[in-house]
Amino acid sequence: MSNVRAQAAHTLFQVVDKGISLSVALPRYSRDLSPQDKALMQQMCFGVLRYLPSLEFYCQQLLEQPLKGKSRVYQFLLYVGLYQLQHMRVPEHAAVAETVNALKSMRATGLKGLVNAVLRNFQRRQIELEEQAQQIDACKYNHPGWFIKKLQRDYPNEWQTIIENNQQQAPMWLRVNNRLNGRQAYADSLSEKGIEFTLDDQFADAIRLTKAMDVFALPGFADGACSVQDAAAQQAARLLAPQNGERILDACAAPGGKTCHILELADVNVVALDADAQRLDRVRENLDRLNMDAELICAQAQDTDSWHKGEQFDRVLLDVPCSATGVIRRHPDIKWLRRGTDIDELAKLQAQILEAIWPLVKSGGVLLYATCSVLSEENQEQIKSFLAHHDDALHVPLHDADTTDQPGWQMLPGLTDGFYYAKIIKQ
């Protein structure tokens, strides 16, 4: 039988040292675990990635030298043990014993004494070590330095709140399928099942669950009654405002939540485009569950010659590739996989896609630019530059703070994920 802590250590090693995303590594190493153990493993992996600099610091203080080379994976087992002791409700004796026991399935019983000693020593010195860690910015904030600097520049009064929210567990939001239910009717069906939730008037189709749960325990999920989608992401289709009979492009569409939402709101013809064939399969799966259809095309959005057939679109949703710094609480590996140098490259790619897609918008048509980033280079600065170079682009304010100087609507992580939207009409 697979040991959950050993599998967590292997997963974390793949993410941090090998650069594999958590969404790929986690299923690979948890496939043989029970549902209960899968949930425990996910909690451990998310937790270690949220507090990685602090856990690294503790190991620096507790080990004579770090574990390297072939022993490197056991360093991550130590992180798993330390995270349990500091942040989880696992009884301390069980956290230590089970972490040491994981070495058996990792065929490294010779390290039992070392792992036991490190964890026991942490228990004795925990308060002292935590106080020392708070004096180091990397440990105090548990975010990479380049990202903290960008947040301080863009959000001088809010950067610490953003960081604190990134360290929290993300809420589970549902999007009600308006073709099958009104939101209140679906909320009533949740109440009948004893599922607790809250409604928020600013999100017309959204229900926030008090506690995350298995989707197949939700009433009507298999039949398309609802989908899991953060309330911030749900704003895309609402702001795009599709109208019956229109031809709409959802560029960079995978995994398909926004594509499906557009089809739930109006009888339209949607072209869903994505460069990743596997992720495009997810779009098809989502459409099938909701009994909907769209034209799926696998291609690079900016390479319009390879996929565009000449007909322009009434509306375009351009959810461009981005740093994903607005969804760190859902994907804590982003902090350690992303590099500061990536942002300039992403901004160049976003500008290329914007330039390539703009001619595909009809005169009088709408382009909605979207990212799940909180960084100005990918958002406000991108749109300001685009507007400055296109006389036929009319900026449409989405709220009072959406101005020509600071165009777009920036949602920050908190109640919802961090998202950015800017709406442009072709004159």
The 8-class DSSP code of residue 225 comes to S
The answer to whether the bond into 255 is cis (omega within 30° of 0) is yes
User: Residue 131 burial (CB < 10 Å; 0-12/13-18/19+)?
Assistant: exposed
Q: What is the DSSP letter of 223?
A: G
State the residue for tokens 């990792």: 106
Q: Which of 226, 252, 260, 372 is catalytic?
A: 372
Quick one: which of 213, 223, 171 has its CA closest to 193? 213
**Which residues have a Cβ under 8 Å from the Cβ of 364 and sit 6 or more positions away?**
425, 426, 427
First to last CA, the chain: 64
Asked if 372 is an active-site residue, the reply is: yes
Per-residue exposure over 259-287, b if at least 16 CB sit within 10 Å of its own CB, e if not:
bbbbbbbbebbbbbbbbeeeebbbbeebb
Q: Checking DSSP bridges between strand 247-251 and strand 269-274, what pairing results, if any?
A: parallel
Name, in order, each residue with C-beta under 8 angstroms of 414's C-beta and a sequence gap of 6 or more: 161, 165
Asked if residue 40 lies in contact with residue 129, where contact means CB atoms within 8 angstroms, the answer is: no
Q: Which positions are annotated as active-site residues? A: 372
